[in-house]
Amino acid sequence: MKNIVYFLLIMLSTIIILPLIIVRGCSVKNDTNYIEFPKTNELKVYIVSEKKTVSMDLEEYTKSVVAAEMPAEFDSEALKAQAVAARTYAYARMNGLYTSRESIHPDAHVCTDFSHCQGWISMEEAKKNWGKASAEKYWNKIEKAVKDTENIVIYYGDTIIDPLFHSCSGGKTADASEVWPGQNIPYLVSVDSPGEEINPNYTTSISITAKDFIDKIKTVYSDFKADENDVLKDVKILDYTASGRVGTFSLAGYTMTATQFRDLFLLKSAFIKLEQDSSKNVIITTTGSGHGVGMSQWGANYRAKNGSNYEEILKYYYKGVTLKEINRGN
């Protein structure tokens, strides 16, 4: 009888305990940095110049965004950082995020208008722009940057980020709330961005007659008045943001945000300086280019040339983020 009991106990142990040992000993993939691809593997892109929507592979789309958005002469690690940001931007919208403005192309995730979504250029057009001598070298360089970061996207916690970027910060990026009041986004905060001064367009100036300057403001405030001989007596900078950009202008009793002022005069950035010269022309000088939020492309290139890899670049400009790999389910 005892032998039967011992036999049953041994069998029971084998049935219950052994599978537990096997499972605990298996090599199970850690899914912390591995995410499922959306139901559709195809990205819907509205080609503005052709007024049509087409389906693209996400990686092929990313190549054309990098070619359009960042100089191919930049360091390979900067190009990789741009590739991850571009892919993340599209992947977020494939997942239905950040789509408040997509009524412009309701049947597509993204469009090719850089002022609305991301820049995009076909391989053929990019090669034509680069010229025969550089075309293959530059395209191969971009292809490698995309391949080396294949399927990698940026997350903040459990959420795909909106990876905003711009050409040149002017030495310091802006907090998202400086440009879009109320948008307190933890990964889009102001950081120093040194080394951008080598950008040939780091500082730009435009000259406009006092009359034209006043008339331009009148398109917004019809009864605005200012002395043409001393415009800056009535047009003053009221305050600055935390990153040093202009916050608000005082216009003879009216107020205008720097973003509105920048749009009105088609300025490159909100780092704005006003002067009136001896000819009574108004000189508007700006530093940097773009809204200034997120990754600075010229700053990324500087960091790459000084030894930072693409992951370090991305984690510098997007605070507190992690990089994850998309599982395409192939």
Distance between CA atoms of residues 167 and 241, nearest Å: 20
Of 56, 31, 33, 25, the residue nearest 43 (C-alpha): 56
* CA 197 to centroid of chain Cα atoms: 20
Among 38-42, 60-64, 204-208, name the one with the lowest average pLDDT.
Answer: 38-42
Is the pLDDT score of 69 beyond 90? Answer: yes
Contact criterion met (CB below 8 Å) for 154 and 318: yes
Please report the pLDDT score of residue 99 as a whole number.
77
- 175 token code pair: 């907090």
CA distances from 31 to 36, 94, 127, 315 (A): 10, 21, 39, 21
pLDDT confidence tier of residue 287, bands split at 50, 70 and 90: very high
The more confidently predicted of residues 182 and 41 is 182
* CA 136 to centroid of chain Cα atoms: 26
Give every strand in the sheet of 34-36, ordered side by side: 34-36, 322-327, 152-156, 159-160
pLDDT confidence tier of residue 297, bands split at 50, 70 and 90: very high
Please report the pLDDT score of residue 104 as a whole number.
78
Is the pLDDT score of 13 beyond 80? Answer: no
pLDDT confidence tier of residue 114, bands split at 50, 70 and 90: confident
Is the pLDDT score of 135 beyond 80? Answer: yes
Among 35-44, 163-172, 180-189, 288-297, name the one with the lowest average pLDDT.
Answer: 35-44
Place of tokens 């205008």: 256
- Predicted TM-score (pTM) of the model is 0.85
Contact criterion met (CB below 8 Å) for 282 and 276: yes
Is the pLDDT score of 101 beyond 60? Answer: no
Partner residues linked to 249 by β-bridges? 237, 256
Distance between CA atoms of residues 200 and 197, nearest Å: 8
pLDDT confidence tier of residue 38, bands split at 50, 70 and 90: low
CA distances from 271 to 196, 244, 287, 312 (A): 14, 7, 5, 27
Query: Three-state SS for 41?
Result: coil
**Mean pLDDT over residues 19-46, rounded?**
49
pLDDT confidence tier of residue 220, bands split at 50, 70 and 90: very high
Contact criterion met (CB below 8 Å) for 43 and 94: yes
- 162 token code pair: 């909106």
The more confidently predicted of residues 329 and 246 is 246
- pLDDT > 70 fraction of the chain, expressed in percent and rounded: 85
* CA 51 to centroid of chain Cα atoms: 24
Amino acid at residue number 145: A
Average pLDDT over all residues of the chain: 88
Instruction: Give start and end residues of each alpha helix (H) in the chain.
Output: 2-25, 58-69, 76-94, 123-130, 132-148, 176-179, 210-218, 258-265, 297-305, 310-317
Please report the pLDDT score of residue 1 as a whole number.
47
Residues in the chain: 330
Is the pLDDT score of 23 beyond 80? Answer: no
Distance between CA atoms of residues 222 and 152, nearest Å: 51
Q: How far apart are the first and last CA of the chain?
A: 56
